Chain A
């Protein structure tokens, strides 16, 4: 059964699968996705109950993949032959066939890792693999992968519902639309007496700013944005952020991985030349203390946690905060250059054995997020790019973007229409977290989540073009 570019997962099946997984938490769930014979679209799933991952035979094999598997005996799964046979007979009896394998992740995003690759390719040539991350149980994330001896390719998950016709936003030169955008912005960009946004919906703020900018109405932009929402941003930048922004020269470097090095990693190829203009990047991810200036619901930061990276922030939270601080989010290319300095190594250091010096990750963190800047900086004076918290980048994620991205200052923006419609597409996250295996902390490792997603190990850092010479 060949696997194309997408997997159809009907909403009813998706809901049943998620419900089953959530009811079993914190246990790992795994099984087959099945379909009627001769059909590719799955209609059901079978779930295994028995897991011999901790048997004398399997336990050391899992632990050979790193400390994460020593510390979490719920990480990993192996079905028993007996249950495999019972379920096999049931599948046959129902006239069904296996079309995919699935399993849940309790702490990790829905990424496909080396151990998944090894164990899947030992067994299957033609089944796809679905991973369901419940690292944020309120917002489970599903990703499907085509797996072969040649590597892994992420598949698009689609429902078979009639596609919604996304209304293209009306032309902003239409006076009615323009006036509406200005009225919305006037409402949504209000600040309180301490200069913080009154509106708590950062998605709405982000969309309103975009709509306002697209009106081309200079007076309204000046009044509502420059002298309104952003009126104190230069002071905030100077007082709170500027001193810890590192200047990066930019220049030319090779971004991504060549196919022979991409292995089971998705979206990293082709390796391609990128040229970056100079920019600034914050030395550490945004801290809880800094973010509390913006979000009054987070202004009670316990002593001792002020320098912890802020987490549980959506991409919209990050993007609006950055703007309010007079900054922006880094592009994916800027992030990768800052992390690896354009070197050929997998991390900022030559060998994985040295990664613990630079990163809080699964080998040394015990799963706890640490204050920023408590490991060694990389050669550019930047801390924590590997591990501690995943970091949002500005770019929309697209698996094949590297094959067509521009050389100079690439950023994959959401289309203006999508931005205005609030349909922004997944955003890139980089760097791994305290739970991440070394492979997820790699300089070139790409992952993505929806912009409205938040997670207990997902933060961001700031970028800026202030006081840098432009090419």
Chain B
């Protein structure tokens, strides 16, 4: 099982029973082994989060970044494979005028 780590502003989009007490950096266990599986799992288990961070094509929405095992993934996260114990984070990059 991999762990999905979310900042507070995204963890608040999880269903109440999926939220962990305290800071979300402890991670939420996910069963997925690939990006495609993860997007499916997010849509099923965390629809509020999925709506916010995913496009309809299954890519990350503009403004968000994917981090896997402490490395920012810039491209080709479609070929991502996840193993047990992997740490996956989704974060936003602040932006404005």
Residues in A lying within 8 Å of B, measured CB to CB: 1, 30-32, 37, 48, 62, 65, 69, 75-82, 84-85, 88, 91-92, 95, 97-98, 101, 103, 113-116, 119-120, 122-127, 129
Contacts and interface: CB of A to CB of B under 8 A. Distances in A.
Contact of B92 (A30, A77, A84, A97): A84
Contact of A116 (B9, B25, B65, B97): B97
A119 B89 contact: no
A88 B91 contact: yes
B96 A101 contact: yes
A123 B60 CA distance: 11
B95 A77 contact: yes
Given A81-B74, A119-B63, A122-B61, 19 more contacts: A1-B12, A37-B22, A48-B94, A75-B97, A76-B97, A77-B96, A78-B94, A79-B93, A80-B93, A81-B91, A84-B65, A95-B22, A97-B23, A119-B97, A123-B63, A123-B94, A126-B12, A127-B9, A129-B96
B13 interface: yes
Contact of A113 (B64, B65, B70, B97): B97
Contacts of A115: 96-97
Contacts of B8: 1, 37, 97-98
21 contacts: A1-B8, A37-B22, A76-B96, A76-B97, A77-B95, A78-B94, A79-B94, A79-B95, A81-B65, A81-B72, A81-B93, A85-B65, A91-B7, A103-B94, A113-B97, A122-B61, A123-B93, A123-B94, A125-B12, A125-B52, A127-B9
Q: How big is chain B's contact interface, by range?
A: 20 to 34
Contacts of A122: 61-63, 95
A69 B97 CA distance: 9
Nearest to A131: B96
A1 B92 CA distance: 17
Contact of B96 (A88, A97, A116): A116
B47 to A, nearest CB: 14
Contacts, number: 95
Given A125-B9, A126-B12, A84 B94 contact: yes
Contacts of B64: 123
Nearest to B11: A97
A78 B63 CA distance: 9
Contacts of B62: 122
A88 B97 contact: no
Contacts of B23: 37, 92, 95, 97
A202 to B, nearest CB: 34
Contacts of B22: 37, 95
A85 B72 contact: yes
A30 B89 contact: no
A123 B72 contact: no
Contacts of B63: 119, 122-123
B67 interface: yes
